[in-house]
Amino acid sequence: MDELRRMKPSDVVAVPEGYNVTFSHAKQQQHKKEHTFLIPRNKEGPVCFASVIRAYFEALNKDLPDRKQDILFFTGQKQKKSGVSRFLDQPIGVNTISDTGKAIAKILGLDSPDRYTGHCFRYLLAAVFVIIVKFK
């Protein structure tokens, strides 16, 4: 989870093929090695993940145009009367990040959603990588 909390907007760079994301593992104390992966533009498939990233940055810029924090992930809030969601100028907490897997598992109707901790994102990213390589 620390990898996600330490990411900065400058770690996500738009390229013609999509977005390059650079990160380093939190558990590697001595030899910090940066890794880069591509979030591709997908004009043929059902979801263009690069468009999701672009929409996220557009929403951040709209809701927090003067943000001073060099943080990538912010807390959101849904307004009670209008039901409209917006970002708050507050970094997302580690507990919120680790509970996201559980929330997604509940939405998808998976068995035992409490088993889906923050580590499920590592497995998810590995699976997405395999799918991208397989269908290239």
Beta strands in 1-136 (DSSP E): 12-15, 18-24, 34-40, 74-78, 85-91
Residue 131 clears pLDDT 70, i.e. is over it: no
Q: What long-range pairs does 11-15 form, CB within 8 A, spacing at least 24?
A: 11/72, 12/53, 12/57, 12/72, 14/54
User: What is the domain partition of the chain in residue ranges?
Assistant: 1-71
Which range is least confidently modeled, 9-13, 26-30, 44-48, 76-80? 26-30
Q: How high is the pLDDT of residue 121?
A: 62
- The helix/strand/coil state of 36 is strand
> pLDDT tens digits, residue range 84-130?
889 888 888 888 878 888 888 888 888 998 888 766 666 665 565 55
Question: Are 113 and 106 within 8 A, CB to CB?
Answer: yes
Instruction: Kindly report the pTM of this predicted structure.
Output: 0.73
* Res. 31 pLDDT band, cuts 50 70 90: low
